[in-house]
Structure 1
Amino acid sequence: MKDVWISRVCASDRFNAVRMTQCLKDRDIYMMGDSTMRQWFHYLRNAVPSIKFMNLHTAEQAGPFLAVDVANNIVLRWRAHGPPLRSRRSPFADFHYISNEIDSLAGGSHQVIVFNLWAHLTTFPLEYFARRVARIRQAVVALLKRAPGTTVIIKSANTSYKDVFGSDWLSLQLDTILRVAFEGINVAFLDVWQMTSCHNSRENIHPNTIIVRNEIDLLLSFICPA
């Protein structure tokens, strides 16, 4: 309504630059996934003036990216999930699997891990995707066991993936597997499927700024609940 997403299952708040800074203060936000997750990284680093982008001289499609706010002790990271990945030429060493990255993190109340897995795997068998998700699930369970205070957030697929590589039907199958795999685990699932399917903007696998803003508001509502 009036470009503001109103969830029927959870309370979502609105965040301006000041509230974003307050919410992200003293936090290490580690985002892993595809280009729709990369949109979140770019939105946050542009929305909070005190966050400065660090040029690591890495490829746009693969990362890793880093942005920091020294005064407020904010670290913002993004990197692409491991192969398969449709990307321009990038060093293979920059492609890290989500499960391996999570295994390498100590976790803690200051750390927020956000990931998605979807668009680059629609052309692969569901069995392959299920095994990939099962390995990530194993890593998340181990992380929460050693550091229960860690916040883990999973972004769902979004609609409008309609080309030779994918469709909403293929996306829905992968998204269903992802949701079922993490049932019963202390993670937050950000459902952006409905958010993107019901907005009146033109269909695009990369949602426009209005949608991304609402996605970020939902993300921060989980990190800093009212």
Structure 2
Amino acid sequence: MTRLYIDLERNIKIQYRKHANPFIMLNFYTFKEEFTIPHLIDQIAGDQHTVIIFTLGMHFRLFPINHFLRRVINIRKAIERLFLRSPETKVIIKTENTSEMNVRVEMLSDFHGYLQYLIINSMFKDMNVGVVDAWDMTNAFASMRIHPQKEIIANEIDLLLNYIC
């Protein structure tokens, strides 16, 4: 699902794309309009007024870590191609956050999430990308919610805006 916001007065365009349903959902839906993050990045020309923000995490906890690692490697390669086209484009990555542990502990535990968090930090540490560290923020707030409370989200947005501005 894609949402588009355009402010002609301030010359701002925001395009938001929500992730698809997780593979663990029992509902039927079509993959017809789904694209990977590298595919979307490759379609962006980029310039000094372009900011790309994305997050990876929770829905990959169910799969072997090598699947997540391949995803992150492909995203890194797409960002490298973007920086060759447009080095002034800003890229910001939001890490995943800690989560509740009441169901499917063996599959959805923070152990798997922490491995993914380490992979993201390691994979992008030498690149000119901003990182909104939601893992540390949710730990600092002692949050165990899969969707964090508004105070944490406000802090994430504040950090995000610091990178943009």
The normalised TM-score by structure 2 is 0.89
Say whether 1:108 aligns with 2:47: yes
Question: Of residues 133, 137, 156 in structure 2, which corresponds to 1:195?
Answer: 137
Equivalences for 1:16-35 in 2 at 5 Å?
none
Match of 1:223 in 2: 164
Say whether 1:68 aligns with 2:40: no
Q: Which moved more, 1:83-92 or 1:160-169?
A: 83-92
Say whether 1:174 aligns with 2:112: no
RMSD: 1.9
Deviations 1:137-174 (A, max 9, x none): 00000101110010000101111242325121110011
Percent of paired sites with the same residue: 39
The normalised TM-score by structure 1 is 0.66
Residue 115 of structure 1, CA deviation: 0.7
> How far apart in 2 are the matches of 1:89 and 1:77?
26
Match of 1:27 in 2: none
Match of 1:38 in 2: none
Residue 182 of structure 1, CA deviation: 1.1
> How far apart in 2 are the matches of 1:142 and 1:65?
26
Residue 84 of structure 1, CA deviation: 5.5
Question: How has the CA–CA distance of structure 1 residues 91 and 143 changed in structure 2, closer, same or farther, with 3 Å as cutoff?
Answer: same
Question: Of residues 62, 70, 93 in structure 2, which corresponds to 1:131?
Answer: 70
Deviations 1:25-77 (A, max 9, x none): xxxxxxxxxxxxxxxxxxxxxxxxxxxxxxxxxxxxxx112222221122122
Higher helix share: 2
Question: Of residues 111, 118, 138 in structure 1, which corresponds to 2:57?
Answer: 118
- Structure 1: gaps spanning 5 or more residues: 1-62
> How far apart in 2 are the matches of 1:197 and 1:213?
15
Match of 2:148 in 1: 207
Residue 210 of structure 1, CA deviation: 1.4
Match of 2:98 in 1: 159
